[in-house]
Amino acid sequence: MNKAAMKRNKEDSTNVSAEVLMQTRRISKAEYFLRLLFPARCICCDRILPFDIPLEICDECKKDIRFLRNFEHIFPAGSNIRKVYSAFEYEGNVREAIHRLKFGETPHNASVLVDLSFPFLESFLKNETFKSVMKYDIIIPTPLHPRRKRQRGYNQSELIASRLSYHMNVPALKGVLVKKINTPPQSRLGRGERLINLVGVFSVKKPGLVKGRRILLVDDIMTTGSTLEHCAKALKNAGAAYIDAYVVAIRHRS
C-alpha cells in the first residue's frame, strides 16, 4: 500500500470510530472535534489517551486510585464545620493530578477530579427526605489572596466549586468569602504554625448572601482542616445556618 492510501485508511478508521462514539454518546460532536485538535491527556501521568475514554484519566491510573475508608468525616463538637466529604486519599495518582492542578497550569484537572469523585459522594450531599434535592443553598470555594491568584492564573477551589455546581445544580459564589492577608502556604508550616497562620485572614464581603444559608465549602485538599475551619468561622460569624465541606482528597500526615 502506498503512503497516500495508508493515510486515507487511517483517516477512514478515525472517522468510523468517531461516528460510533458519537452515536453511543460517549463523547459529544464538539468534544470529538476538540479531541482531534487537542488530544486528551491523563490528568495523573500525562500520557495521551485513546480517543474513546470519556474521563481524562488512563485505565492504569484509574485502577490505582486510593479511596478513603470513609467518605464522611465528622468534625469535633464546637467546630464551625459539621462534616467533610471526600472520596480520595491524597496519595499516588490523585496527589499527582492535584499537584498538576496547582502547579502545572492544568486547570482542567479540577473538573476531571470532581467528575471522578462526585458519584461516590452524591448520596451524602442530598437531602435525607427528598433525595432529588441537595441539602445546600450555596457552594463557596476557599479563597486565595488576590496576589496568589494572579500568580497562578486561577483559584483551583473556584474551578472545583464550579464543576460541583454543575453536578449539584446549586450556585457557586465567588468573591463572597475573601482572603485579606497573603499568608505563607499551610503546606510549608508545622502543625502549631498552621493553627495561628490563618487567624483573622478570611472575611465575608457580602454577608447578605450568606445569612441563613446552608453552605457547602469547597477546597482541593484537607490536611489538618484549619483552612476549612477558619473559612467556616468567618461564614458562621456572617450568619450561615451551617457549613459542611467537600474536598477532593484528604492528606494523612505521619
Residues that bind Zn ion (CB under 5 A): 42, 44-45, 58, 61
Contact 87, 68 (CB under 8 A): yes
- Nearest residue (CB) to Zn ion, 52 versus 193: 52
The least distance separating Zn ion from the CB of residue 93, rounded to whole angstroms, comes to 7
- Burial profile 34-45: b = 16 or more Cβ within 10 angstroms, e = fewer: ebeeeebbbbbe
Q: CB of residue 28 vs Zn ion: minimum separation in angstroms?
A: 23
Nearer Cβ to Zn ion, position 42 or 159? 42
Rounded to a whole number of angstroms, the minimum distance from the CB of residue 154 to Zn ion is: 23
Q: Looking at beta carbons only, is 109 or 197 nearer to Zn ion?
A: 109
Q: What is the largest CA-CA distance in the chain?
A: 75
Alpha-carbon torsion angle 181, 185, 190, 191, nearest 10: 70
Q: How far is the CB of 44 from Zn ion (least distance, A)?
A: 4
Of 162, 139, 161, 159, nearest to 213 (Cα)?
139
Q: Which residues contact 52 (CB under 8 A, 6 or more apart)?
A: 17, 21, 26, 27
Q: Is the dihedral of CA 206, 209, 212, 213 positive or negative?
A: negative
Phi first, then psi: give them for residue 142, nearest 5 degrees. -70, 135
Nearer to Zn ion, 42 or 173 (CB): 42
Residue 41 and residue 100 in contact, taking contact as beta carbons nearer than 8 Å: no
Q: Give the nearer residue to Zn ion in terms of CB position, either 42 or 139.
A: 42
- Which residue, 56 or 229, has its beta carbon nearer to Zn ion? 56
Residue 145 CA to residue 175 CA, distance in Å, equals 11
